[in-house]
Amino acid sequence: MGFPESPWRMSPSSLPGLILLLLSHHFQAGNAEHFKVLGPDQPVVAVLGEDAMLPCHLSPALNAEYMQVRWFLNSFGFIVHLYKNGMDQNEHQNSKYRGRTELIKNYISYGSVSLRIRNIGLDDEGIYTCYFELDTYYEEATVKLKVAGLGSALSMSVTDHQDRGIKVMCESSGWYPEPEVTWRQEDGQSPIAASETETQEQNGLFKVKTSLLLKTNQQGSISCHIRNVILSQEKASVISIADIFYQRVSRWMASLSLILMSVLIPCGLLVVLVIYHLRKEREEKENLSAKVESFSADIKTFSADIKSLHSELEWRRCCSYAVDVTLDPGTAHPLLLLSEDQKSVRRGNIRQDLLDNPKRFDTDPCVLGCQGFTSGRHYWEVEVGDGHYWTLGVCKESVRRKGKIRWLYDGGYWTVWKMGDEYSAFTSPVTHLSLRERPHAVGIFLDYEAGKVSFYDADNKSLIHTFTDAFKETLRPFFFAYFVPFTIRPVAAWE
């Protein structure tokens, strides 16, 4: 370790302030050689133009209010954000980040100092370092930020082509990184090989042009799909093959009408009849299209209602398998405080002097349920309130209890977590979840034989996420109580 400049230059305005500062300094210095700096195991993904949240915290959870906290990019002197002497220091901040960063200090007394970067651009992508310094001791951790851009709405166009065919063109711009492009048949699943696909880079973003050749004997509809592989999101557009060829025939009829008018000017009646026929045909097609659109809207509304009803029925079925889950004190991290009925847990400020048995978690604030499941269906609910940072789910009986939990690499966890306003499922890679409402209670349903673990918003009865796997050993309820108290609540009766 080196010997960076000490952060203790704050001048208290009163004698009591000086005493408090010296006591804090003495306590922090006594523990300085024991802290580590921890960041996420996986890269943080941010969408262009939106905000990015880079998490970072101390282990154990020391008060960092009077430490130096420095976020930098690539080199120590490239300062993204600097906190020192109890306040933000902006004079040496890199101009690129000036006015765009915020150190989240809500939990700085627990050693958590996530960094928010606003209005993310392409040049913000990179590896950031979170650095803590106390006196002459310091530690750091890196956080990789990946940037992704979801492009514009797809534009579809049609042109004539040789051999009695037509070319359908699909275009979109503003993608990053280079997206995947597919054409699909009417069922939305079967892929079709594109005739030609071209990508162009414009100001670091990608513009996509892809085309498909169609013959007159093809039926149904086709769809163009452009997908961002990092965000696992795509945009699509559908076009009816029948409508394409109808438009082609209509253009031919219009040309024929012009020829007839030029050749048969004396035959005014014939011209009038042709015009009347074409107008009548157009009106009928417009009326038919309006009816089809209205019918499609009704079908979508009906499908949404059916989906909501199906979700509620699934939740009600889960409730019929409710089990009484309690917390296992023998597995609880020494910082966790369990209620007498073993139904609630919260994180304390002082590490308890507990027997360090092989089953106890010693690094992360985790605890398991007493119950172990090797078969059957089981459902329980946990109140999470407005917690900032939590993880819930199930894990194998055999998971490692000592040292830092590496969710994706150790395996054996089927969990959903919340960090700030973001929700994710610990799949590989991580699945980011878009929830309509913030759940205040989470229902967990385990179907051992079916190999499924499902998570529900227990208040609005909606499905959050489902894991599918093959279970071969005992599974137990899992709780990661970092900043939020958990309460296992009775499953509400329903009519």
CATH at residue 454? 2.60.120.920
64 vs 35: CA distance, rounded Å: 11
Residues 200 and 174 in one domain: yes
Residues 175 and 143 in one domain: no
Percent of the chain with pLDDT strictly greater than 90: 47
Higher pLDDT, 223 or 20: 223
Residues 140 and 169 in one domain: no
- pLDDT-derived band at 27 (thresholds 50, 70, 90) equals very low
Q: Kindly state whether residue 406 falls inside one of the protein's structural domains.
A: yes
- Is residue 113's pLDDT more than 50? yes
Q: Count up the domains in the chain and report the number.
A: 4
Residues 132 and 49 in one domain: yes
Residues 384 and 428 in one domain: yes
Q: Kindly state whether residue 273 falls inside one of the protein's structural domains.
A: yes
Note whether 141 and 37 are within 8 A (CB): yes
Helix, strand, coil fractions of the chain, as percent rounded to 5: 20, 40, 40
In sequence order, what E strands does 91-241 have?
101-103, 115-117, 126-134, 137-148, 155-161, 165-175, 180-184, 191-192, 196-202, 205-215, 221-228, 233-240
Residues 280 and 263 in one domain: yes
- Is residue 29's pLDDT more than 70? no
Instruction: Give the tens place of pLDDT for each residue, 429-487.
Output: 889 998 888 999 999 999 999 999 999 999 888 999 999 999 999 999 999 987 778 99
- Is residue 20's pLDDT more than 50? no
Residues 136 and 268 in one domain: no
Q: Kindly state whether residue 308 falls inside one of the protein's structural domains.
A: no
Instruction: Identify the domain boundary among 132, 148, 164.
Output: 148
Count Cβ neighbours within 10 Å for each residue of 417-450 and write b for 16 or more, e otherwise: bbbeeebbbbeeebeeeeeeeebebbbbbbbbee
Query: Among 8-12, 91-95, 268-272, 279-283, which stretch is predicted with the lowest mean pLDDT?
Result: 8-12
Q: Kindly state whether residue 458 falls inside one of the protein's structural domains.
A: yes
Q: Which of 196, 197, 219 is nearest to 206 (CA)?
A: 197
* Cβ atoms within 10 Å, residue 486: 24
- pLDDT-derived band at 9 (thresholds 50, 70, 90) equals very low
What is the 3-state secondary structure of 67-113? CEEEEEECCCCCEEEEEECCEECCCCCCHHHCCCEEECCCCHHHCEC
Instruction: Give the tens place of pLDDT for each residue, 135-179.
Output: 889 999 999 999 999 989 999 888 776 556 788 889 999 999 999
Instruction: Give the tens place of pLDDT for each residue, 404-433.
Output: 887 766 789 999 988 888 999 988 888 999
Residues 407 and 449 in one domain: yes
Residues 274 and 395 in one domain: no
Q: Kindly state whether residue 13 falls inside one of the protein's structural domains.
A: no
Cα 35 to the center of its chain, rounded Å: 30
**Angle at CA 237, nearest 5°, toward 48 and 246?**
155
Domain range for residue 196?
155-245
Q: Kindly state whether residue 199 falls inside one of the protein's structural domains.
A: yes
Beta bridge partners of 235: 226
* Cβ atoms within 10 Å, residue 175: 24
Note whether 120 and 49 are within 8 A (CB): yes
The per-residue pLDDT for 457 is 93
Instruction: Give the tens place of pLDDT for each residue, 261-288.
Output: 555 555 566 667 767 777 877 777 777 6
Percent of the chain with pLDDT strictly greater than 70: 79
Q: Find the mean pLDDT for residues 113-128.
A: 94
Q: Kindly state whether residue 10 falls inside one of the protein's structural domains.
A: no
Instruction: Identify the domain boundary among 148, 171, 196.
Output: 148
**Angle at CA 68, nearest 5°, toward 62 and 69?**
80
Beta-carbon contacts of 130 under 8 Å, excluding residues fewer than 6 positions away, are 37, 39, 54, 56, 69, 71, 113, 115, 140, 141, 142, 143
Q: Kindly state whether residue 62 falls inside one of the protein's structural domains.
A: yes
Q: Alpha carbon of 204 to those of 201, 426, 432: distances in Å?
A: 6, 31, 25
- Is residue 54's pLDDT more than 80? yes
Residues 163 and 200 in one domain: yes
The CATH number covering residue 45 comes to 2.60.40.10
Q: What is the mean pLDDT of the chain?
A: 82
- pTM assigned to the model: 0.46
Query: Is the alpha carbon torsion for 219, 224, 229, 232 positive or negative?
Result: negative
The per-residue pLDDT for 475 is 97
The per-residue pLDDT for 189 is 62
Residues 230 and 123 in one domain: no
Residues 216 and 265 in one domain: no
Instruction: Give the tens place of pLDDT for each residue, 200-227.
Output: 887 889 999 998 887 765 657 888 899 9
476 vs 387: CA distance, rounded Å: 22
Instruction: Give the tens place of pLDDT for each residue, 229-265.
Output: 888 899 888 887 766 655 554 554 555 555 555 555 5
Instruction: Give the tens place of pLDDT for each residue, 355-395.
Output: 889 999 998 899 999 999 999 999 999 999 887 788 999 99
